[in-house]
Chains A and B, each alone.
Chain A
Amino acid sequence: MALDRWIALVIFGVTCAYGYSAFFTMDQLLPPFMQRNPIWPSTFPKVIAVLTLITSLVVLLGLEKASGEEKTPDIDYRRLGDYKIGKALLLLGLMALYALALRPLGFLLSTVAFLSIGAVILGERKFHYLIPIAAVAAGVVWYLVEGVLGIFLRPWPFFVG
């Protein structure tokens, strides 16, 4: 089964859960006075759920086939082995780590680390350029966000204050 149909299957499953919640659990919480309304909080989700189930089935069962010649996709998952997927996954992991480190480590330290490690993952080894550039960029962005936009960003780790 092609990837797009697997995705349709997953979406079908998610929509079933969404639809179940809309059809069977949401209305129980509805106060009695609202039950006389023609529109309930669950009405629109119910319509969406039914339509999504139908379209995901259309894709899943391959009822609609692409017309004409096969379009060459932007990037071909059948050639996944040729791509540097490991690097992409490492960078995604790094982004998640950044999200978790932002509060405890402070903006400056975590940003310098993120930019430097990111470049290292991609093969950069000139640390004498990399670290100063990352530090200046982190400082400038911090100043712009905190000073110009007025959005608080803790600059230093929690134990520095």
Chain B
Amino acid sequence: MIEGLLIGLSTAFSIQNLLMVIGGCLIGTFIGMLPGLGPMSIIAIMIPVAISMGDPSAALILLAGVYYGAIFGGSTSSILLNAPGVAGTVASSFDGYPMARNGQAGKALTIAAISSFMGGTVGAVLLMIFAPILSSVALLFHSAEYFALMVVGLSAIAAFAGTGNVAKAVMMTLIGLMMATVGEGALFNMPRFTMGLLDLQSGFSFITLAMAMFALPEALFLVMNPGRTKTGDGGTGKIENLRISASEAKSIAPVIGRQSVQGFFIGVLPGAGATIASFLGYAVERNIAKGEEQAEFGKGSIKGLAAPETANNAACTGSFVPLLTLGIPGSGTTAILLGALIALNVTPGPRLMTESPDIFWAVIISMYIGNLVLLILNLPLIPYIAKVLQIPRNYLIPFILFFTLMGSYIGQNNATELLILVGFGICATILRFADYPLAPLLIGFILGSMLEDNFSRSMQLADGWGFILDRPMTLGLLVIAALLVIVPSYRARRARARQAGVADGD
């Protein structure tokens, strides 16, 4: 581990990679503030840039920097404008925005930055401890268990994404898997479901799909409903006095401590991620706060801001655990990172740590550096970066659309891809209208080929479906996957039946 750490340190501290972290954080913060471009879209736009660098560790470091920057940028717009750019920072606006309105915008940003820094740092330490342990356990897995594990991951993502409506989320996951089978897979060397179209021979591009699923519908919603954001009104006010007092620091310290750990473990769970971690963190801290402090939540409490900020950054770090150790992404963003890694010929999984220690450790070290950059570089720059919020939407929206087009064009160098993007974008917007979650579709799509690979290998080794029963762990995991999907539906049904029963009785 020490040796790996040293390799990671030397890789991450090379001039090129330091520039990557700094650049990534700045770009991420800058774009993350804009409405309509969440971390997923920003990372998808940056992937062609990262891939063209050719160095997987530099690419991943850049993308991780962008990810952190985007989350931080999202918090900034939550606090200053009550317009969260990202779902994970919605909870930050509960107390951050009242603070800004009370003239404490500078203090709120400092608390957000310190909490994010601490959350990210504690998360990175926990990642360093748990990732190698999980990797060594995962090395014992066969393809059958991998297959089952991926099914568990997908079910958990569907169960979380589709709260109250799991069937919809499961359907989206399955459509993602279906889309992954289009094109000529490496496994069978024959085109499938291409309908004779040459453009579909290599399958759909995941960057196009990511743009179409997230950036495009969001931009279209901004067009359709101008009241959706408050950008362009220039009403950010003055950001001054970034200092916090010693007593304030003392009062948020325990919150940060608790939420770093809690957020990290929520982030590790597939499907949970930063959004749930931040809401849960806020709720837990409000519940354990006493009397006066509790009454202050929602009116500008510094604890109420520190809790979600710490938790969402710790969860972002936590979400790297399943990605780096199992190769299974737990969230849309890590799924896009997985896609980027595959494009760079790196297969994340338990062997990553032993086969490419430079990548594995460099990413972890760069997380520290990224958090530090956010604190010491981005924070003082915030008053200037926040000017981006004053860009009028008449200019902003065409640019967002242009960047989605460019992202998918650069990835494939093919104008037909742009038409596919528009087509999928329309479908995704309609799906959003009907409240279908889209992240499961993208995760299903990205995991699809790996899932089929492991499925096929297990079928081949066991000469048929026997692999499900051959090893008890496979069966156990598949049962867990089924329960994850069935239990919430069943409970919702029962609750409804009970409600209906009560109503009848009345």
Contact = CB atoms under 8 A, between A and B. Distances in A.
Contacts of A38: 459-460, 462-464
B405 A44 contact: no
Contacts of B399: 115, 137
Interface in A88-135: 88, 91-92, 95-96, 98-100, 102-103, 111, 114-115, 118-119, 122-124, 130, 133
Given A92-B422, A115-B398, A145-B410, A75 B224 contact: yes
B406 interface: yes
B317 to A, nearest CB: 27
Nearest to B187: A41
B425 A7 contact: no
B483 interface: no
Nearest to A129: B395
A133 B395 contact: yes
A64 B489 contact: yes
A29 B402 contact: no
Nearest to B171: A55
Given A4-B168, A44-B181, A102-B415, A122 B393 contact: yes
A75 B171 contact: no
A123 B221 CA distance: 16
A49 B175 CA distance: 9
Contacts of B456: 39, 43-44
A52 B174 contact: yes
A48 to B, nearest CB: 5
Interface string A53-78: 00110110001111110010111010
B479 interface: no
B373 interface: no
Contacts of B491: 67
B177 A48 contact: yes
Contacts of A3: 430, 433-434
B174 A51 contact: yes
What range describes how many residues of B lie at the interface? 35 or more
B233 to A, nearest CB: 15
Contact of A95 (B49, B181, B405): B405
A83 B418 CA distance: 25
A107 B406 CA distance: 11
A114 B394 CA distance: 13
A6 to B, nearest CB: 8
A20 to B, nearest CB: 11
Contacts of B495: 67-68
Contacts of B406: 141, 145
A41 B175 contact: no
A56 to B, nearest CB: 6
Interface in B374-423: 392-395, 397-399, 401-402, 405-406, 409-410, 413, 415-416, 418-419, 421-422
B14 interface: no
Interface string B142-180: 000000000000000000000011111011001101100
A4 B435 CA distance: 7
B167 A95 contact: no
B182 to A, nearest CB: 9
B68 interface: no
Given A74-B221, A96-B422, A29 B181 contact: no
Contacts of A65: 492-493, 496
A157 interface: no
Contacts of A55: 167, 170-171, 174
A26 to B, nearest CB: 7
B432 A64 contact: no
Given A26-B192, A71-B435, A115-B402, A48 B174 contact: yes
Contacts of B225: 75, 82-84
B48 interface: yes
Contact of B415 (A7, A64, A100, A115): A100
Contacts of A123: 394
Contacts of A98: 405, 418
A11 interface: yes
B432 A151 contact: no
Listed from nearest, the 6 A-B pairs whose CB atoms lie closest are A118-B398, A99-B418, A67-B492, A83-B224, A4-B434, A124-B394
22 contacts: A7-B436, A38-B462, A43-B456, A44-B456, A55-B174, A67-B492, A68-B164, A74-B432, A77-B433, A82-B225, A84-B224, A91-B223, A92-B425, A96-B418, A99-B422, A102-B415, A103-B415, A118-B397, A118-B401, A122-B394, A123-B394, A149-B49
Given A91-B398, A98-B405, A115-B398, 4 more contacts: A38-B459, A51-B174, A64-B165, A73-B435
